[in-house]
Structure 1
Amino acid sequence: MDDELSIFAWIQMVDTSLEGDVAVRRGLQKLLNISAKLTVQETRQWLAPFSPRRALIAVHL
């Protein structure tokens, strides 16, 4: 049972979006090759399709 709870907690953790992280927004801005700074909302929208693994995508930006 503890293993199942640990797995559930880990899955919840990797679905954290991190859209408020400046480094994530700058990385995405560079990836998209745009000069304008991305807002938290724009970053959230871009990461949304990657749920439930948004944090894993975000840390690679």
Structure 2
Amino acid sequence: MDWSGAVWRKSSRSGSDGGSCVEIATDPAGTVGVRDSKVFAGPVVVVAAAEWRAFLAGVKGG
């Protein structure tokens, strides 16, 4: 999958110091790409939208 044209969003919990950050993007099919914001050309982990929502619910739930 080509994520070169994706619009990436940085985590709202990321600091402004340029440290460790996670970015996500979605494609038209609704899959979610996750990458390290410091490695733009690095690997992208791709998950289904339902899996991403379950992950977020788990994180928010503690």
TM-score (norm 2): 0.28
Structure 1 or 2, whichever has the larger Rg, is 1
The structure richer in strand per residue is 2
Q: Flag the structure with more relative contact order, 1 or 2, with Cα contacts below 8 A and sequence separation at least 6.
A: 1
